[in-house]
Amino acid sequence: MLHAAFLIPLFPLVGFAVLVVGGRRLGNPLAGWLATAMVGLSFVTTVVVFAGLFERAPGRRSFTQTWWNWFSVDRLHVSAGVLVDPLSMTMALFVTGVSTLIHLYSIGYMEHDEQFPKFFLYLNLFVSSMLLLVLGGNFVMTFLGWEGVGVCSYFLIAFWFDRPSAASAGKKAMIFNRIGDAGFLLAMFLIYERTGSLQYQTVFARLGHVGGDSLVAIALLLFLGATGKSAQLPLYPWLADAMEGPTPVSALIHAATMVTAGVYLMCRISPILHLAPDAGHVIAIIGGATAFVGATIACAQTDIKKILAYSTISQLGYMFMAAGVGAYVAAIFLMLTHAFYKALLFLGAGSVIHAMNDEQNTKVMGGLRALMPITGGTFLVAWLAIGGVPPFAGFWSKGDVLLNAWGYSPALYVLGALTAVLTAYYLGRCYMLVFSGKARWVEARATGDGTSRGHAEPALEADTSNPNVPHERIAAPAGPASHGRLHPHDPGWVMTVPLVVLAFCSVFGGLINLPFHPSFVFLERWLNPVVGRALFNPHLGAGSEIIFAVIDAVLALFGVALAYSLWRTAVYRREVEPTFLERAWFIDWSYDRLLARNSTRMAAFTSAVVESRVIDGAVNGFAVLWRRSGTVLRRVQTGYVRNYALGIMAGLVVLLAWVASRTFS
Amino acid sequence: MTPHLLAATLPDGLTFAIAGVIALVGSLGVVLSRNPVHSALMLIMSLFGVAVLFVEQDAQFLAAVQVIVYAGAIVVLFLFVIMLLGVDRSEAIATEPMPAQRLMAVGLGILALVEIALLSRERWPLGAHSVAGKARGTGHSNVYVLGRSLFTTYLLPFEVTSALLVIAVIGAIVLARRPRTSAGPTEGEAAAAEAGGGPLVDAGELVGSGAPSAERRVEAEEALARAGDRIGEPVGEQEGLTVVRRPEQ
Amino acid sequence: MSVPADFYLTLSAVMFTIGAVGLLVRRNVLVMFMCVELMLNAANLAFITFARELNDVGGQIAVFFVLVVAAAEVVVGLGIIVAIFRRRVGATADDVHVLKG
Amino acid sequence: MILASATGFAVPHIDYTAILPELILIGGSLVLLAAGALNVRHLPTRVYSLLSGATGVAALIAGIVLWQKVHGGGHPLTAVAHSLVIDGFSTAFVILSACIIIVSSAIADGYLRREGIAGPEFHALALLGASGAMLMAAANDFIVIFLGLEIMSIPLYVLAALDQRRAESGEAGMKYFVLGAFSSAIFVYGIALTYGATGSTNLAQIAGYLATNVSTSNGLLLAGAGLLLVGFLFKVAAVPFHMWTPDVYQGAPTPATGFMAAIAKVGGFAALLRVFFSSFHSLEASWQPILWVVAVLTLVTGAVLGLVQRDVKRMLAYSSINHAGFILLGLQAASREGMSASLYYVFVYAFLVLGSFAVITVVGGRGDTSHAIESYRGLARRQPLLGFGFAVLLLAQAGAPFTTGFLGKLYVVEAAVRSHSYALAVIAMLTGAVAAAFYLRVVFVMYSLPAGEAAPAMALADGGALATGTEPAAAVAAPAGESRGGVLVAAPPEAPAGAATGAGGGLRLRAASLGIAPSTLAGIAVTVLFTLALGIWPAPLFSFVHAAGLLF
């Protein structure tokens, strides 16, 4: 049964190929069904392989399948193939599962989009790359998947590329990811240099001969890669902008699967992290800080997808905190449960946006619970789950992380606990604004005040005049006269079925790894062959575990109550939505202010040579710094042939001077 | 002991000194002459000086080639081009639009010279002797030795120079050809262009020959605009303008 | 006894440098090109001197080829110069700097 | 024979198979010229292109035959009185040069027809230039290297100045020529000093001399090697000898730029690698640090200055400088892996740059002038195949996985790491990331909407955009210079959206269309396929390159 592993990434790839060739001929909705079927087949295969692995004895649950010898450089032999072990199968199972549901949902969501087949083509390619990433048997395969998902992510963020904001968001994602990728590549070189291999098992077996400093360097470089992909401090701003993509994309790529690749990588290299505790320190601190910062920002956002985006950043921070501590099982556990409820939240948000005719501002929603019972109900479940209210899934997974954090450092625990309260609070705020209270969209439309006050990113405001926003033609045409005809309702079954399934998982997902008794920790026992040796043990008795569970529950309920009391009736509460948070700690702003503005001043100063276009696209400091040196350097290129010859002569003189210095020293 | 000029026999020393001074003065003259024609003549002088030094060092054949090919053909070609372009007027070399350039050039030149001299402080030639064959003491003349070497050891390079000459021919043809100004000219146009006279007439020919069309006129105007960048004597300019006006009459 | 090689080689180095500096300071493209010829000549002188010193015919052969290459280069180079400057007044390389940055 | 025996000449044995590729190219150019001279302006351009391509194919076959021959043999063969050395290394470059000629002929064909440049000169010069690069790769003597260098360079000067209707072309030719002549003079002086220090111009004899004679003071030799290095680095456009590159690349006719970028790197690096790995191997400690500094400068300058360009041609010129830095990385490693890596990179780069400039040729339009980045806005929508091809080529240059560009970067950086040049590896990676920014900018512009167009319904925006060049391209390829120069454009905004979705139905051809000659398209397709196919399945090329390096 294990030999079917190669089929897992192959099915979506076949789907991709078929859609490339005949996507337009298949048309809408056949192309979508084909793509869904392919991912579904992949899911079934995964279950089969999973079962095969499960039958084996725990010590023998590792299987390497080599497809072909990919390339050989000197001592380095890289084969194309997969590694089937409990960790990769767990990931594959949830990736294919969630993907199938989101594919199904997308058939409904993208129904009226002109680029329908293209969307599914990208989605299938994405799933295939993601599976390559998690199943890859060596660093190179993982890196290929890593780049593949990055490219798909870019294409899907910029899917409605005729919107300038979408195109620029895609660009931003690409740039931030490239920084991280450089880290990944360097880490690979270093690993190869030190161990002579890139095959996971070989590398891990040879770690004993590698110096401690090298291990820290490898771990931190890989973590740099992970911060880019998983939107951690300081490389997180792209994820908020990535919400420009269609909502199913946000759910699949920017919440459930791709962004968790960094966490997966950390778990995969757990043997390295185990030997490099200093690197673990850094990871835990950055993870904790990201969790807290992300949660605070989410408290003051008004765009429904932005709230969820910052929530994702925060939850990913949580996972990194767990991985840094050494609690890999907790990290994976949180990743799984998070995938369920965050995908659910996004899909719910998608249904709301769909129903509200592409409105994303929560301040002009409200009162939708009665009109959209299924969406409202599942969203409520997701809120309680992510908030950590017992007995939903999030309670167990978050509790596990917090428990380990306490054992590692109480300060980290405090950070995590604060984040937990904030999480329950801001999603409560979101839920209240969207589903309860008055139906504000009626009056907002009547006054023509569609987008309310000071929005940080005007690009994200609902742009109903843009004909490329999908679903435009299904609803009534926009305009003050038409709001009366807006009838929000639950979407069709293809969209509600995934909601219900995910809600079910959000409720019962915690069952896979219950604390209190060793016989309940299924996930931990399952993952033990992979991460067992490196696992952190907080040394707490069952008694204190119960105490912590109670504290967690109290914290979660406190957050829920806070949200309920503050937002049940009100819409505007400036005092808890400080501009500081609304503008995301001014981090984007300061990137712009400190780096881009200075260069603008300099551009004015050297206006003869520098054009205003030079700072075009200078969205982040990295690019600006390079650019600035470019504008200075290009003045050397005067266009005078004599100057060029002078350059050659100068090079010659310096070269001879060096040679002379060597001869006479 | 350091080698000394006086160690040489008087005729050799004297020849070297005179020819060396001629070559140096010629070189400096090339750089310092205000008039390009003078530069070219100075180049000949320098080449002659070097040719004498060739003879002095038993390279009689190359000395002859140097005089015939270099001084006789290459520099004459230079002079032709100077005359063709009409740039035989003095250049104000006292003024330098980029003062830093001159300063740095001289500085770098001195540095380069010092470095080369430093690097080869010890006896200059170090290498293995007579690797490619003896130049002297073979009992044959210099021409014989060279010719023999060319047709044996250096046969391939010798043959390969033919490619170089082909390239020179093609290059000269391509570059000297009058540019065609529109895509796909008719035979008549091309012939007219070939027969054309002064440089600025090009712009007019486009309009003059063939059917005058709006597209052609635009192209001609563009060509004229380009020609405007390099307006020469006022006569040429007027000529160009009158030709362009023709189709409008 | 003939003049030691050092003198020839120093002369050659000086001529080479004069040529190089001349290319850097002159604005007339024809004169710049003449300076290149000076540099090639300096190299030729060095070749001949080494050939004498090593009693080797290889250096003289090299000079032969350098002469051929110089001839070909001159033809093409002057062709390019004529193509550009036949419509300009003067042959000043500094005037030709549309392309830069 | 009688003459020879009478004068005591022993004419050396000439192994014609060894020099067959060069002979074929030179002969081909002569045939082209003869055809041109005998049929004054009667032969259509495509005949010349076909002849040129056929010559390239013949040279390729000769190269492959030669490869088979040297592949079996143990030690390298020298040919024609030790002037040439025929080994895997030189043969690999011969094969590459032949490939460049084939692709370049196809690409230039469309350009020449569009611009109405009749006559065989372009192709004849390209063939001669390629033969020069082959000579450089196979040379076993500095004199041959020098001749090869000039045979390669002089046609490139002419090609740069070929388009006399644009002032930039002449400027490019002049700059390239003046600086090229300057660097050649330096190179010759370097040969002279090396000759003085070692007594020979023959690479093998120099290596032998240096192996047996350990000189206490080898200043003369080092000075010679330094001057030679300047000459080589000028040809491959390494900083600070690079300054001609952007101006010349921008000014030269675009197909000539592509050819120049590919062939000059081939010839320059072939000779550079051979000279510094074989003859000057014992001076390694001296030249390695120089190359370290040059590589860093080259990498950084290429990336930084590429970032601020708005002209795509000029941007690619800086990108080629950045690539030169990567290739130097392998050379700097001074190891066998480093040499294989550099060789691989040159192979990969030649195809990438040919394809990229082919696309630029197409987009440049009549007159070869629209190269601003704005010209690329919406290209991927008007020309999905072309846009996809260019995107692949650019992403490959940026080092995206599944392309040859990624593996090229991987190998050279890996070689640098292996030789413990960690800082250099890090710098290379960083500049690679920076360079990726400007490649991606073009990709973004291509995939965004043309300014001012009110986002009409796109007919071609589905999976077709991802199809490779093998897809039937009937609608895209059409003869150049005709108004039906097949461009599928969006339905006009006033048309109902539904009308545009039918294949072919409701599509209008834009008047100001980009004409793509089928030959150009074929050339682009070849480079894209090469990039993708060998990126996904790199084993053949890698084993080829590896064998070429081992047989060195």
Output the average pLDDT for chain A: 79
Candidates D292, D444, D488: best to mutate against A (most CBs of A within 10 A) is D444
In sign, the C-alpha dihedral spanning A359, A363, A368, A374 is positive
Residue of B nearest to A652 (CA): B112
Q: Does residue D130 fall inside a structural domain?
A: yes
In the numeric block, the tokens 């030269």 are attached to D252
CB contact under 8 A, C80 and D175: no
For an interface test with B, give the residue of D121, D203, D210, D286 to mutate (most B CBs within 10 A): D121
Q: Alpha helices, DSSP H only, in D365-479?
A: 379-382, 384-398, 404-418, 422-446
CATH no. for B7-90: 1.20.120.1200
* Chain segment A434-472, per-residue pLDDT in tens: 888 777 777 655 554 444 333 333 333 343 343 344 443
Interface A-D, measured as beta-carbon pairs within 8 A, has a size of 194
Asked if residue C67 belongs to a domain, the reply is yes
Nearest CA in chain A to D284: A659
Contacts of A664 in chain B (CB under 8 A): 118
Interface touch C56/B227, C-beta < 8 Å? no
How many other CB atoms are there within 10 angstroms of residue A209's CB atom? 10
| Alpha-carbon distance values, A265 to A324, A331, A348, A643, D401 (Å) | 12, 11, 29, 51, 18
Instruction: Measure CB to CB from residue D84 to each of B118, B156, B173 and give the nearest one.
Output: B156
Domain boundaries, position C40: 5-89
Query: In 3-state terms, what secondary structure has residue D168?
Result: helix
- The gap from C-alpha C66 to its chain's centroid, in whole angstroms, comes to 10
* pLDDT of A355 strictly over 60: yes
Q: What is the pLDDT of residue D512?
A: 37
CB B146 within 8 A of CB C64: yes
Question: Residue B101 is nearest to which of A643, A657, A663, comparing CB atoms?
Answer: A643
D406 SS3 class:
helix
In a domain, C98, yes or no: no
What integer pLDDT is reported at residue A444 of this predicted model?
Answer: 59
pLDDT score of C64: 93
Helix and strand totals (H; E) in chain D: 20, 2
Residue numbers in D near B180 (CB within 8 A): 116-117, 165
Residue pLDDT tens, chain B, 249 long? 455 666 667 888 889 999 999 999 999 999 999 899 999 999 999 999 999 999 999 899 999 999 998 888 899 999 999 888 887 777 776 777 777 888 889 999 999 998 888 887 765 556 777 777 787 777 788 888 888 888 888 999 999 999 999 999 999 888 877 655 444 443 334 444 444 433 333 333 333 333 344 444 445 455 555 544 443 333 333 333 333 333 333
Task: Inform me whether the C-beta atom of residue C15 falls under 8 Å from chain D C-beta atoms.
Answer: no
- Given a cut of 70, whether residue A519 has pLDDT beyond it is no
Asked if D182 lies within 8 A of A637 by C-beta distance, the reply is no
CA distance A379 to A602: 50
Please, which pLDDT band fits residue D50 given cuts at 50, 70 and 90?
Answer: very high
Express each pLDDT in C5-17 by its tens digit.
Answer: 888 999 999 999 9
Structure tokens at A171: 């660009």
**How many angstroms separate the most distant Cα atoms in chain C?**
57
Cα gap A252→A258, rounded to integer Å = 8
> Taking 50 as the threshold, does the pLDDT of residue D501 lie above it?
no
User: Residues for chain C: how many in total?
Assistant: 101
For residue A74, the model assigns a pLDDT of: 62
Report the residue of chain C nearest D251, measured CA to CA. Answer: C99
State residue D186's pLDDT score: 96
Q: Which pLDDT does position B28 carry in this prediction?
A: 95
CATH number at C62 reads 1.10.287.3510
CB contact under 8 A, B101 and A663: no
Distance CA(A17)–CA(B223), nearest Å, equals 51
Contact criterion met (CB below 8 Å) for D234 and B162 = no
How far apart are alpha carbons D433 and D436 in whole angstroms?
Answer: 5
The answer to whether residue C78 is domain-embedded is: yes
Q: Which of A204, A462, A227 is nearest to A323 (CA)?
A: A227
Domain boundaries, chain A: 1-137, 161-464+488-567, 584-663
Number of domains in chain C: 1
Nearest CA-CA distance, residue B10 and chain D, Å? 26
- Can you give the pLDDT at residue D215? 65
In a domain, D346, yes or no: yes
Least confident of A9-18, A57-66, A210-219: A57-66
Chain B nearest CA to C98, separation (Å)? 12
B172 and C25 within 8 Å at the Cβ level: the answer is no
Residues A613-634: pLDDT tens digits? Answer: 333 333 445 556 666 777 777 7
> How many other C-beta atoms can be found within 10 angstroms of the C-beta atom of residue A550?
11
Residues of C in contact with A641 (CB under 8 A): 29, 32, 93-94, 96-97
Q: Is C20 on the interface with D (CB under 8 A)?
A: yes
Q: And the tokens for A617?
A: 């696209």
Chain-chain contact of C86 with B59 (C-beta, under 8 angstroms): no
Does the distance separating the beta carbons of B43 and C38 come in below 8 Å?
A: yes
> Which chain B residues touch A649 with a CB distance below 8 Å?
105, 108-109, 112
- Residue D527 domain boundaries: 14-204+217-447+518-550
Among B31, B101, B103, the strongest candidate for a mutation testing the A interface, having the largest count of A CBs within 10 A, is B101
Across the range D107-116, mean pLDDT stands at 88
Q: What is the pLDDT of residue D317?
A: 94
pLDDT at D11 over 80: no
> In angstroms, what separates the C-alpha of C2 from chain D's closest C-alpha?
18
Asked if ipTM goes beyond 0.95, one says no
DSSP letters for A71-102: EEETTEEEEEEEEE-HHHHHHHHHHHHHHHHH
Helices (H), chain B: 10-32, 36-56, 60-65, 75-85, 99-119, 142-151, 155-176, 187-195, 201-208, 214-228, 234-245
Nearest CA in chain B to C29: B36
Of D21 and A541, the one with more pLDDT? D21
Query: Phi and psi for D325 in degrees, rounded to 5?
Result: -60, -40
Q: How confident is the model at residue A264 (pLDDT cuts 50, 70, 90)?
A: very high
pLDDT of residue A154: 82
Shortest Cα distance from D261 to chain B (angstroms)?
A: 19
Average pLDDT over residues A371-385: 88
Cβ <8 Å between D433 and A181: yes
Asked, for residue D279, whether it belongs to a domain, the answer is: yes
Report the pLDDT value the prediction gives residue A595, as an integer from 0 to 100.
Answer: 44
Report CB contact under 8 Å: D185, C58: no
The candidate with the shortest Cα–Cα distance to D461, out of A161, A525, A552, is: A161
Contact call for B125 and C5, based on CB within 8 A: yes
Contact D77, D28 (CB under 8 A): no
Q: Which residues contact B141 (CB under 8 A, 6 or more apart)?
A: none
Q: How far is CA D116 from CA A313, D109, D366, D371, D481, in A?
A: 59, 10, 10, 20, 9
Domain locations in chain B?
7-90, 197-248
* Record: contact B182-D116, CB cut-off 8 A: yes
Residue C99 lies in a domain: no
Beta carbons of A420 and A398 less than 8 angstroms apart: yes
Number of domain units in chain D: 1
When pLDDT is averaged across residues D132-150 and rounded to a whole number, the result is 95
Separation in Å, CA of C46 to nearest CA in chain D = 6
At residue A364, the pLDDT reads 79
Collapsing DSSP to helix, strand or coil, A476 comes out as coil
Q: How far is A650 from chain B (nearest CA, A)?
A: 7
Chain B CB within 8 Å of residue D193 CB: yes
Q: Note the pLDDT tens digit of each residue in A291-320.
A: 988 888 888 788 888 888 989 999 999 999
- Looking at residue A600, what is its pLDDT? 47
